[in-house]
Amino acid sequence: MVAPSRPPMIEITGLTFAYGHAAPVFRSFSWSVAAGEAWTIIGPSGCGKSTLLYLVAGLRQPQAGQVLVEGQPVPRPRASTGLVLQDYGLLPWATVWENVALPMRLGQFYRRKAPANRGPRPYPRPDITADQVDYWLKRLGVAHLRDKYPSQISGGQRQRTAIARSLLQRPQLLLLDEPFSSLDAVTREDLQCLTLELRQETGVTTVVVTHTIEEAAFLGQRILVLGRPPNTRAQVIENPTAGTPAYRGQPTYWQKISELRAALEEK
């Protein structure tokens, strides 16, 4: 007996989206991501990179077309989708441990309050434990900062804290919106390598929005290139040899950077 095929992790068909009465950012746009793939999205400022991520995350809704994640529409954020933002999204009045543990606290709250017959839960998983919080603090290298507040730690440490919080929910899809753009070069490269390690360890599908050609080539085994709105088709550049820290030293990496630069100049 043949097992049923899994739906794409992300399937967008005929997407049209605009802000208010402005011209559409996307018009009849289609794009698909398979489970386990590593994508980056690049394009000029204002092309809709972050907008596309927010549509997939359920934070925005299309005016036309369909956005499916694991075969289901996303009218609201999902517990199995992690979102990491450029500005970290940490609570300034909470410690590092409390920020990472937030999905656990929310899951416990909804487990007590939500009706039993509500169906699939859009909020964080209710079965997260304090031991799992401690594990991700240690894995992300911020366990020694557990009692510090965001204002007391560096930008790279804040981003590690934000990533730990997202991974605590054991997401099947991890969306990162220009997560390293405000960091210095050494910290940025360190976190890029960490992202590769975490994807290999967990098998999570990753989509990284970036404005940096080098980052797009390093992190994305498939790269979506967007242009000036309205975006009507998905231009995809294949980059199958990416995915390891050693890739930066390979000729194919530099060739891919040149290919991406040429693609962007055509937009």
Q: What is the pLDDT along the chain (267 residues), one digit of tens a residue?
A: 444 567 899 999 999 999 988 899 999 999 999 999 999 999 999 999 999 999 999 999 999 999 999 999 999 888 889 999 888 889 999 999 999 998 876 654 444 444 454 444 445 555 778 899 999 999 999 999 999 999 999 999 999 999 999 999 889 999 999 999 889 999 999 999 999 999 999 999 999 999 999 999 999 999 999 999 999 999 999 999 999 999 999 999 999 999 999 999 987
Q: Are strands 64-69 and 72-73 parallel, antiparallel or unpaired?
A: antiparallel
Question: Cα dist. 229→144, 145, 159 in Å?
Answer: 45, 43, 30
Distance CA 167, CA 202 (A): 9
Print burial letters for 110-139: b (CB count within 10 Å at least 16), e (below 16): beeeeeeeeeeebbbbbebeeebbeebbeb
**C-beta neighbour count of 59 within 10 angstroms:** 15
Q: What is the reported pLDDT for 106?
A: 60
Closest CA to 50 of 17, 80, 92, 90: 17
Token code pair at residue 267:
């937009």
Contacts 24+ apart (CB under 8 A), 3-6: 6/35
Distance CA 38, CA 136 (A): 21
Distance of CA 196 to the CA centre of its chain: 13
Question: Could you tell me which residues are beta bridge partners of residue 33?
Answer: 10
Max Cα-Cα span within the chain? 58
